[in-house]
Amino acid sequence: MAPLLKDELDIVIPTIRNLDFLEMWRPFFQPYHLIIIQDGDPSVTIKVPDGFDYEFYNRNDINRILGAKASCISYKDGACRSFGFMVSKKKYIFTIDDDCFVAKDPSGNEINALEQHIENLVTPSTPLFFNTLYDPFCDGADFVRGYPFSMREGLPTAVSHGLWLNIPDYDAPTQLVKPRERNTRYVDMVMTIPKGTLFPMCGMNLAFDRDLIGPAMYYGLMGEGQPIGRYDDMWAGWCMKVVCDHLGWGVKTGLPYIWHSKASNPFSNLKKEFKGIFWQEDMIPFFQTLKLPKDCNTSQKCYIELSKQVRAKLGKIDPYFNKLADAMVTWIEAWDELNPPSGAAAVAAEGLNGPAKKK
């Protein structure tokens, strides 16, 4: 069977190491185009297995293509994957970490995570009214008695959020308390996250409709030179969910599972997360009460408005949020330069100083 959406989807991978993990994913990923973002020292050589179609970008490439606007792309942090979202020209994005392997379902069958993400994205979401059989568009499910017929068409799905077996995505304090805990529960379920409900988005197994939500899928300023880390996907998730709720799009979570192979160092994580653990007690209420004006009718307009409110309300907590608000605006400016609405998109994608390296 021909790969689903082969010409409409890019796989974005941030990495600091050789991509040997792709061998396990070869049966599922090889037909697709990869965008690889090297995180860290650009002088280090990253080896990619033969047979994959890919573009490769390091920090020098990011600086060359974006110029002064490269300041919005994090350095020495997985948040650098945002650049891959920006330079892609496909409708859909799947992003995965390089310590995520192919998982197996309870019957021992290898899980094609990409196929499940695509199924999630091309079927509607139901954020306005909860269905107790979860995703009614999955095989073997439907709308239950009492579900309004006027809502059964659902809404477009913008994001598919997958989960993980083995190493759970815990914060540093939980890692320290439960160092040996592993997730062994496989729950055969996909559900739409209700409108008005935030969630902790994990970026290691994630797919989204770039045409819909791409401009709002910015992983913020993290890593070297920033006072916070490991909140890149959290920030993107909170911003994205507010925008989806405002524009009438859905977010699904659950299947597919991947096998998360490696636990990061909890002491190192605690240093990165320390400020965020305190700040999130203000950030989450901020997003829960945030309202966007009716004239914000695109992801870009929503995100610019978000930046203004971040500056006005979160900027009082720490100067970092003023810097982040500036970066949010820069991100949208760079996005629009590389993704103009006209047919000049291909020309602009060359960047300011020539084309990126392609393999």
Question: Percentage of residues in the chain with pLDDT exceeding 90?
Answer: 93
314-326 confidence digits (pLDDT tens) = 999 999 999 999 9
In whole angstroms, give the CA distance from residue 272 to residue 228.
Answer: 5
Please say if the pLDDT value at position 328 is more than 70: yes
Please say if the pLDDT value at position 293 is more than 80: yes
Q: Three-class SS string for 34-61?
A: EEEEECCCCCCCCCCCCCCEEEEECHHH
Lowest mean pLDDT among 22-31, 226-235, 337-346: 337-346
Q: Who's near 232: CB < 8 A, 6+ residues apart? A: 74, 77, 78, 79, 203, 219, 220, 222
Q: What is the pLDDT of residue 341?
A: 83
Please say if the pLDDT value at position 357 is more than 80: no
- pLDDT tier, 344 (very low <50, low <70, confident <90, very high otherwise): very low
Q: Using CA atoms in the order 101, 106, 110, 113, what is the torsion angle rounded to 10 degrees? A: -60
Please say if the pLDDT value at position 348 is more than 60: no
User: Can you tell me which residue has the tokens 């192919």?
Assistant: 102
Query: Coil, strand or helix: which one is 273?
Result: helix
- pLDDT tier, 275 (very low <50, low <70, confident <90, very high otherwise): very high
Closest CA to 32 of 81, 75, 119, 91: 91
Element (H, E) at 250: strand 250-260
* pTM of structure: 0.94
CA–chain centroid gap for 180, Å, is 27
Query: Coil, strand or helix: which one is 21?
Result: coil
Lowest mean pLDDT among 53-62, 133-142, 206-215, 337-346: 337-346
Q: What's the average model confidence in pLDDT over 344-359?
A: 44
154-170 confidence digits (pLDDT tens) = 999 999 999 999 999 99
* Interior/surface letters 266-279, b for 16+ CB within 10 angstroms, e for the rest: beebbebbebbeeb
Q: What's the average model confidence in pLDDT over 255-265?
A: 94
Q: What is the pLDDT of residue 1?
A: 74
Q: What is the pLDDT of residue 123?
A: 98
User: Can you tell me which residue has the tokens 């799009």?
Assistant: 249
Question: Percentage of residues in the chain with pLDDT exceeding 70?
Answer: 95
Please say if the pLDDT value at position 349 is more than 70: no
Q: What's the average model confidence in pLDDT over 63-75?
A: 98
Residue 134 neighbours by CB distance under 10 Å = 18
Query: Exposed, middle or buried, 239 (CB in 10 Å: 0-12/13-18/19+)?
Result: buried
Please say if the pLDDT value at position 230 is more than 80: yes
Q: What is the pLDDT of residue 342?
A: 62
Q: What is the pLDDT of residue 346?
A: 41
92-149 confidence digits (pLDDT tens) = 999 999 999 999 999 999 999 999 999 999 999 999 999 999 999 999 999 999 999 9
Give the chain's length.
Answer: 359
Q: What's the average model confidence in pLDDT over 341-345?
A: 55
Q: How far is CA 264 from CA 52, 78, 168, 170, 230, in A?
A: 28, 13, 11, 10, 11
